[in-house]
Amino acid sequence: MTFHIDFILKTLEKEVSGYAVPIVDLIAVQTKDPFKVLVATILSARTKDETTARASARLFKKADDVDGLSRLSEAEIAKLIYPVGFYKNKARYLTKLPEALQAFSGEVPDDIDSLVTLPGVGRKTANLVVCIAFGKPAICVDTHVHRIMNIWGYVDTKTPLQTEKILRAKLPTKHWLRVNSILVAFGQGTCRPVGPHCDSCVIQEYCPQIGVTPRKSPQARQKARSAGIKKFISWNVNGIRAIEKKGFVEIVREMDPDILALQEIKAQPEQLSQNLINIDGYQSFWHSAVRKGYSGVAVYSREEPLHVYYGIDQKEFDEEGRVLTLEFADFFLVNVYFPNAAYGLKRLDYKLNFNRRLLDFTNDLADKKSVVICGDFNVAHKAIDLKNPKNNINNPGFTPEERAWMDKFIESGYLDTFRKFHSGPNHYSWWSYRFNARAKGIGWRIDYFCVDKKSEDRIKSAAILKDVMGSDHCPVILDFK
Backbone angles phi, psi at 196, to 5 degrees: -55, 145
x/- letters, 223..252, toward ligand SF4 (CB under 6 A): ------------------------------
Measured between alpha carbons, how far is 33 from 366 in angstroms, rounded to an integer? 64
Q: Which is nearer to ligand SF4, 3 or 433 (CB)?
A: 3
Q: Which is nearer to ligand SF4, 27 or 464 (CB)?
A: 464
Active site residue 110: no
x/- letters, 124..153, toward ligand SF4 (CB under 6 A): ---------------------------x--
Q: How far is the CB of 204 from ligand SF4 (least distance, A)?
A: 4
Q: How far is the CB of 207 from ligand SF4 (least distance, A)?
A: 3
Q: Is 79 in the site for ligand SF4 (CB under 6 A)?
A: no
Pick from 101, 203, 289, 477 the residue near ligand SF4 by CB under 6 A.
203
Q: Is 70 in the site for ligand SF4 (CB under 6 A)?
A: no
Q: Is 212 in the site for ligand SF4 (CB under 6 A)?
A: yes
Stretch that binds ligand SF4, among 162-170, 191-199, 405-413, 462-470 (CB under 6 A): 191-199
Q: At what angle do helices 87-101 and 74-81 cross, to 10 degrees?
A: 130
Nearest in space to 331 (alpha carbons), one of 305, 310, 301, 355: 305
Q: How far is the CB of 11 from ligand SF4 (least distance, A)?
A: 10
Q: How far is the CB of 301 from ligand SF4 (least distance, A)?
A: 29
Q: How far is the CB of 12 from ligand SF4 (least distance, A)?
A: 9
- How, if at all, do strands 331-337 and 370-376 pair? parallel
Q: Most distant CA pair in the chain: distance in Å?
A: 75
Rg (CA), the chain: 24
Q: Which is nearer to ligand SF4, 31 or 143 (CB)?
A: 143
Q: Is 207 in the site for ligand SF4 (CB under 6 A)?
A: yes
Pick from 55, 97, 131, 198 the residue near ligand SF4 by CB under 6 A.
198
- Residue 373 pairs in a beta bridge with 334, 450
Q: Which is nearer to ligand SF4, 151 or 184 (CB)?
A: 151
Measured between alpha carbons, how far is 26 from 220 in angstroms, rounded to an integer? 36
Contacts of 407 (CB under 8 A, 6+ apart): 381
Q: How far is the CB of 186 from ligand SF4 (least distance, A)?
A: 7
Q: Is 196 in the site for ligand SF4 (CB under 6 A)?
A: yes
Burial 383-413 (b: 16+ CB within 10 A, else e): eebbbeeeebeeebbbbebbbebbeebeeee
Contacts of 275 (CB under 8 A, 6+ apart): 244, 249
Q: Is 177 in the site for ligand SF4 (CB under 6 A)?
A: no
Count of residues engaged in binding ligand SF4, rule: CB under 6 A:
13
Pick from 31, 89, 162, 209 the residue near ligand SF4 by CB under 6 A.
209
Q: Is 155 in the site for ligand SF4 (CB under 6 A)?
A: no
CB 282 within 8 A of CB 300: yes
Pick from 122, 214, 389, 413 the residue near ligand SF4 by CB under 6 A.
214
Q: Is 443 in the site for ligand SF4 (CB under 6 A)?
A: no
Pick from 96, 197, 357, 369 the residue near ligand SF4 by CB under 6 A.
197
The catalytic position among 142, 256, 376, 479 is: 376
Please report how many Cα atoms fall inside a 13 Å half-sphere around the Cα of residue 382, on the Cβ side: 10
Q: Which is nearer to ligand SF4, 207 or 464 (CB)?
A: 207
Q: Is 201 in the site for ligand SF4 (CB under 6 A)?
A: yes
Q: Which is nearer to ligand SF4, 150 or 263 (CB)?
A: 150
3-state DSSP assignment of residue 278: coil
How many angstroms separate the Cα of 262 from the Cα of each of 322, 446, 474? 11, 14, 11
Listing from the earlier edge strand, what are the strands of the sheet with 370-376?
307-310, 323-328, 331-337, 370-376, 447-452, 414-416
Which amino acid does the sequence have at 121? V
Measured between alpha carbons, how far is 424 from 414 in angstroms, rounded to an integer? 20
Which amino acid does the sequence have at 460? K
Q: Which is nearer to ligand SF4, 109 or 196 (CB)?
A: 196
Q: How far is the CB of 197 from ligand SF4 (least distance, A)?
A: 6
Instruction: Output 75-83 pairs: Cβ under 8 A, ≥24 positions apart.
Output: 80/55, 81/43, 81/55, 82/55, 83/51, 83/55, 83/245
> Which positions lie near ligand SF4, rule CB under 6 A?
151, 190-191, 196-198, 201, 203-204, 207, 209, 212, 214
- Residues serving a catalytic function are 376
